[in-house]
Chains A and B, each alone.
Chain A
Amino acid sequence: MNAIMYMLRKNVKNGIRDAFQHPMKLLVYVLVAASLVYAVIRGFTMEVDVNDKLDMRILSGAFLALLYFISIPIMLKGLSTGSSFFSMDDVNNIFVAPISPKRILVYGIGKQLATSLFLVVCFSAYGSMAIKMFDLSWGNALVLVAGIALMLFIVQMVTLLVFCLCSAHPRLTTYFKYFIYSLALYALISVIAFMFQNGMTLENLYTAITEDFLEYVPFIGWVHGVIFGIIGGNTLNALIYSSLLLLSCITSLIAFKVTKLDYYEDVLQNAESYYEFRENLRSGTVSESMLPGSGRIKVRKTGISRGKGASAIFFKHLREGSRRSRLMFFNINTIVLIGITAVIGFAMKSFFGTEDRATVIYIGAAVICAYVQFFFSAAGDWVKELNKPYIFLIPDDPVKKLIMAGATSIIKPFIDGAVSFVLLYFIVGGHFLDVISCTIVYGSFGCIYISSNILAQRIVGISGNRGVFITFYMGIIVLLMIPGIVGGVLLLSNIGADLTNIAATFLALPVMIWNIFISFMIFLMCRNLLNNIE
């Protein structure tokens, strides 16, 4: 353990020294700390009328959701044989050293716990805000924060137990995975069933999220039971649930003591893929393992079949796309977008009520979808192409290469948009012209994102600093989209009253024209981007 303590001590010391040697890194740390302090101060200074205090049931439901949000991913990660505990440097240096595997596992869990405690610090900053918004005392706010820390501790202990059991009996892994999923499903189904039974009202939702049955959920519900038992003065509940938690911890420790652990092989594989993932993130490159649908890919149809020169890149992307998803452009992003559009459709329809306001719903949906697309566009085919030398070596016109490399990334948003907005049409109705306009405008934002990326690469350099690149990239996106939006708003403000039922189309028209025009201009201006890999 001395060696591990030495390494931890040196890691902390060198980490601090490194931060001071890299002013940008230090600046980020200072900014994060400052934003936490700001959140605390803002919580104190925020004036909330006594009558405006929120229902405590909201706090109870939100806290439970937070516990789920923290614990389920950690448990699932722990189940994948410790991928969250160890990094490649641990595997290469500590695993081969003459140190007991159990001590190493304790070190891994401790390391994970330290990382998780950062979350507690972040949430504690919002404790002050909770005091102002809910009828909550200082002591109770501290209990809430302690609850998060307790959840983190418990989840690590549970992970330890699961890990020991699965290490001895690998078949159990699948059952535990189902068990963890069932914890989340149980809560979801219980709330939905309650709502169906008692009516879809906000009041019933508040009641459903504070019902006792949610506290029966092992670990997560129990922690909630302890914390809200203390806050609500229900000592019996607090005692019962804390006893259950204590029992779980004792079971975990006994399992740890008696199990013969041999987890190195599993950890090595996970650590290697995690290392690759982190290295890719650090260098700003995108590998297949980071993309949706990259899990199990089978080779069915082979061959690129078409394309000469630069267009071979486009047909290559089509073949790669067909491997990721049988429906080519239809992937998890499409499903997420459909889900978002459906939620927006139903929510806004119930808010606005009448069908003649459908055009407003289209505007809202297009804005939110365009925002979401920003996150989808980060791992487009063209970004990956820049990680390989071939695009720079192919003897063809740079503009052609740029357009062909970006073609699939340009087409996909148009298809995603068409599917999502047609679905929205079935939900909210309205004019079909709005569907077409929103689809094109959504697609045109895809052009803006890709051209902004190209422009940022041109300014910062392909192998430039990723932090600087992202700053430029986001700044360019904002600058590029402003003229189109201004044009749209101006046109919208000048249309006659008889045309307001297709307001989305008038707002979208200048936006789509501008977005496509400026994107094409950037493609032309940045044609020399592929002159070198820098």
Chain B
Amino acid sequence: MINVSHLTKKYNRFVANDNMSFIVNDGEIAVLAGPNGAGKSTAIKCIAGLLRFSGEIEICGHNNKSMEAKQILGYVPEIPAPFELLTVWEHMEFIARAYRLQNWQERAEMLVRRMELHDKKDKMGKELSKGMQQKISICCALLIEPKAVLFDEPFVGLDPHAIKELKAMLNELKAKGVTIIISTHMLDSVEEFWDRLLIMMRGRIEAERERKAVEKSGENLEELFFKITEKDRHDDK
């Protein structure tokens, strides 16, 4: 479970996240949606423990900056940042060693194969395209068998096969009870499996919806998104 309570993040006078609170339960996929500059990536980075913030964030009951939280949290950054001189397989080995994983080889092999990186195991990070670098980030985040995973725009740059495979992986993680937050504005890519929708605008959570409620009302994700994010424009008119 990820519990975000009164998260506020400021850059000098600019408020990137303004008193955000929400909970994502075990086995739930929450989608953090919103227009450009809404503060989605900042919120994801705060949850990953990469930024300073005020408020409280808990990952499965542990403070997000604690060792316990780090051990069970996977993070896929928006911009892939592989080690330029490490091979694909060495990325796996490095993560396994850094996180003190046991018997990781089989899982790493499976991830690399599913992301179609198996024939590039000996290629260095700098030799890979942006999309392949993104695949490494995904493999690294999932190798640790996380209990919570944060994806920041995970589908950008991926080929159709990788998108299909990632969606399958998300469903598998969900079935295992892993808590997942995906920041994206490609709403159609999460249409099939989202459980909770958090729509952000100007650093705040403008609306929070559960799948069942939305389905009951007969709305779809896109309609709901535009209804909320373009509310101001309609009001202005």
Contact = CB atoms under 8 A, between A and B. Distances in A.
Contacts of A288: 84-85, 126
Contacts of B87: 299, 302
A396 B66 CA distance: 9
A21 B106 CA distance: 56
A394 interface: yes
Interface stretch (A41-49, A384-392, A424-432): A384-392
Interface string B72-106: 01010100010111110110011101111000000
Contacts of B83: 316, 320, 388
Contacts of B70: 393-395
Interface stretch (A135-143, A503-511, A526-534): A526-534
A401 to B, nearest CB: 9
B98 A313 contact: yes
Given A297-B85, A313-B98, A316-B83, A532 B49 contact: yes
Residue among A299, A307, A389 facing the most chain B CB atoms (10 A cut-off): A389
A300 B147 CA distance: 36
Given A288-B126, A299-B122, A395-B70, A308 B85 contact: no
B51 interface: yes
B66 to A, nearest CB: 9
A319 interface: yes
Interface string A382-416: 00000111101111100000000000000000000
A288 B82 CA distance: 11
B81 A387 contact: yes
Interface residues of B, number: 34
B187 interface: no
22 contacts: A289-B126, A299-B123, A302-B87, A302-B90, A304-B97, A309-B98, A310-B98, A316-B83, A319-B86, A319-B90, A323-B85, A388-B83, A389-B75, A390-B140, A392-B49, A393-B48, A393-B49, A393-B70, A393-B73, A393-B75, A394-B99, A531-B52
Given A288-B85, A316-B86, A395-B67, 15 more contacts: A287-B84, A299-B87, A302-B89, A303-B89, A308-B97, A308-B100, A313-B98, A389-B48, A392-B50, A395-B71, A396-B67, A531-B52, A532-B52, A534-B50, A534-B51
Interface of B: 45, 48-52, 65, 67-68, 70-71, 73, 75, 77, 81, 83-87, 89-90, 93-95, 97-100, 122-124, 126, 140
